[in-house]
Structures are given as C-alpha cells and as structure tokens.
Amino acid sequence: MNAAHGLAAPSIGTRLPKVGTTIFTVMSALAAERGAVNLGQGFPDFDCDPRLVDAVAGAMRAGRNQYPPMAGVAPLRQRIAEKIAALYGMRYDQDAEITVTAGATQAIFTAVLAVVRPGDEVIVLEPVYDSYIPSIELAGGTAVAVPMDAGFRVPWAAVRAAVTPRTRAIMVNSPHNPSGTILREADLRELEAIALEHDLLVISDEVYEHMVYDGEAHQSVSRRPALAARSFVVSSFGKTFHATGWKIGYCAAPAPLMAEFRKVHQFNVFTANAPMQYGIAEYMEDPAPWRGLPAFYQRKRDLFRGGLAATRFRLLPCEGTFFQLVDYSAISDLDEAGFARWLTTEIGVAAIPLSAFYEQPVQNRVVRFCFAKTEQTLEQALERLSRL
C-alpha cells in the first residue's frame, strides 16, 4: 500500500516552482549508475585526517552527546574567533558574534531569513551558487541577478545600477563557485562603497577561503571594518577539513546582526551536533591543516590543468576553489547539460554544466570539473578526457 492509502493527498502547490532536484545530485547519481569518474559534485574522494575522526570519536566517548548550547560550544567559537583574527585581523566576540551552523547552506539560509522581508530585493551575481535564489524566494524576497563579466569578474558599475530603494542585501562568494575567480582588495573597496552608500547588508560566502592559489591572499569581507560591520561571513568545515558529509560550518557577524541570525537559527535547527563541535575545536589547536591547504590543492590544480592542457578543452583561469571550468567548443556542439550527460555516459567522466548556475538559459559551452580528488582519480579522468 502506498503512503496515500488510496486517498488523494491535498494539492499544496509549490513554494519553489523553478526548483527540481539539484544538478549535483542528478550528476552524482548518473556517474554512479554509469561507473564514471565523478568530477561533478564538489567533494573530495579522499578521507579527512584520522586525527580529526579520533577527536570526534573521543568527544562521543567522553559523553559529549547531548544538546550543546544554541550558538555552538565555547571552545569551537573561540577557535573560530582566533582563526579569523589571525588571518584577517578582525576579532569577533566569540560569545555574541559567532554561531556554529549545520553547514554553510544552513548559515546562508538563516542569514537570508533573518534579513530579507517580503518585497525586498537581494542582488546576486550570476553564475550563482544554487542555494541562494531559493533561500531569497522562501524568505519572500526577489533575487536580482547581475551577470558577471566574460572573465567572471564582478562588474561593479552594473551592481550599482541594479540597486533600487527595495534592495536589502547583496550576496557575494569568493573564491567563487563555479568560476574559480577571487575578489581582490579593489573589489572589496567597491563592495564597501556600494553597501555604505545604499545601506545594504552583505552575505559573504567564503567556504573556499583556504583554497586561494599562486600566493594571493583571501580577501575576506571581515578584513574591512566598515564592511564587516554590515556583513554575515559564512564558512564551512566540510570544505576546509575534507568532510563535506559532516555538514558543519559557521557564521560570523556583528552582535546586532548575529542576535537576529540566532533568533532564526534556534528555530530552524536550534544547534549543530555536539561531538563534531568538540572534536573540531580540539583539532583546530593545530593551524597546520588549513595553513597547508592552498599548497595541497594547488598541486592538484596544477596536475589537472597540466593534463587538460594536452586535450582539446580550453582552460579558463582558476585562482581559487577546487573547481576548473573548461570550454569544450572545439569538441562538441551539444548544449552544456547534454554535453555533461554525454561526457558522463560515453566518456566516463562526470562534470557539471555551467548553465546550472544561471536563472535564464545561457550557453557558453563550458562545464565545471572538481579536482578535489586523488592523483590516481585525476589521472584516470585525464586519460579518458585525452581521447576526445
């Protein structure tokens, strides 16, 4: 007997008419079905540090298994505050200005729900990470998408022109998924000028903060006091510690903004799981894991780009993240979704179509590969891609 027991379920309409199953889930399922090398969905195919697993297991054995405080456990909030201060020079108050979340997705959604009211507009930059627009729409707001330029830089004049009296916030993401570009100091200056001039809030998705290459520094919005004073800064331990399945991250914001964030947080998740918080706090006593991350991923980027250079794909720049965009127009006339499917089923390498990051259909003949993989996986993928 099915769930409806033969009775018709009431029609509830939909809060998200444009949304289906995410492209990441679709491509991972197709890759698994076809036995393809999965360079689609962004996650490492290698394990996290056993010391981290031991620290979390130790916390469970030590009985850290009941509700932690709503904002997160004190030792972890302290470590987060220290890390941000050491890297970006901004000291957030660990008690009033940092909240541990169930991943960056929940942090972003919570920040959006805390600030966006029905009728508000929120500026996003296209290509845009897939959770932003649904979050804005569930809050009753309207997303105003400003296209990035051909080199995936932010056209600040266009951003300024998109501001209306209804604009409440702007969402930025650096290093940027899917393009791999980063914001530089001049970008933050522009962002700050626009935010101050129009009294806008900023939601800054910095989940790839430790994946910036070629000696560049990550430009966190928390580096600039006037910008930090109106920003929610979001990061993810899933990315930093190779544990995307753990779904744990955080948000930092000035106390008045954080107070509103926590009002929402306490009713959409209440708190993030306790043993991981204690385990991560212990593991973070040693800064080596995130300090070594740029070199770790730069080696993978260079290996992957080196191999792709010998194929008919055209490489786009990769300044950060663990993603590499490639132009396949010398190989195929298929549209991006069709090419990604074909590549997965016929060549045995899964990718994500760039078009998945746009509201309106666009076709650049570009797909995204994830290089957070072992050398062996990358070499296997390159061997298949070199046949094209």
- Residue 129 within binding range of ligand PMP, rule CB under 6 A: yes
296 in contact with ligand GLN (CB under 6 A): no
Question: Using CB distances below 5 to 8 A depending on partner kind, what does residue 192 bind out of ligand GLN, ligand PMP, none?
Answer: none
Termini Cα distance of the chain = 49
By the rule CB under 6 A, 289 interacts with ligand PMP: no
The two three-digit tokens of residue 76, written as one number: 């972890």
Whether the bond into 50 is cis, omega within 30 of 0: no
Angle at 86 between CA 84 and CA 88, to 5 degrees: 60
Q: Collapsing DSSP states into helix, strand and coil, what is residue 126?
A: strand
Q: How far is 72 from 111, CA to CA, in rounded Å?
A: 16
- Sorted by sequence, the CB contacts under 8 Å of residue 333 that are 6+ apart come out as none
Asked if 251 is part of the footprint of ligand PMP (rule: CB under 6 A), the reply reads no
Q: What percent helix, strand, coil does the chain show, rounded to 5?
A: 40, 15, 45
What is the maximum span of the chain, computed from C-alpha positions, in angstroms?
Answer: 63
Q: Which is nearer to ligand PMP, 52 or 207 (CB)?
A: 207
Per CB under 6 A, does 45 bind ligand GLN?
no
Write down the least CB distance from residue 112 to ligand PMP, Å: 12
Which residue number has the CB closest to ligand PMP? 103
What number of other Cβ atoms are within 10 A of residue 331's Cβ? Answer: 18
Work out whether 24 is an interface residue with ligand GLN (CB under 6 A): yes
User: Smallest gap, in angstroms, from Cβ of residue 233 to ligand PMP?
Assistant: 12
Site string for ligand GLN, 164-193 (x = CB under 6 A): -------------x----------------
Interaction between residue 275 and ligand PMP (CB under 6 A)? no
CB of 8 to ligand PMP, least distance (A): 36
Instruction: Tell me how crowded residue 210 is: count the other CB atoms within 10 A of its CB.
Output: 23
Q: Do residues 220 and 88 lie in contact, with contact meaning Cβ atoms separated by under 8 Å?
A: yes
Chain positions 175 to 194 lying near ligand PMP, rule: CB under 6 A, are 177
User: Which one, 105 or 377, has the nearer CB to ligand PMP?
Assistant: 105
* Site membership for ligand PMP, residue 42 (CB under 6 A): yes
201-205 and 231-236 as β-strands: parallel, antiparallel, unpaired? parallel
Chosen from ligand PMP, ligand GLN, none, partner binding at 220 (C-beta under 5 to 8 Å by type): none
- Whether residue 194 contacts residue 161, with contact meaning beta carbons closer than 8 Å, is answered with no
Give the binding site for ligand GLN (CB under 6 A): 22, 24, 41-42, 177
Give the binding site for ligand PMP (CB under 6 A): 42, 103-105, 129, 173, 177, 205, 207, 236, 238, 244, 247, 249
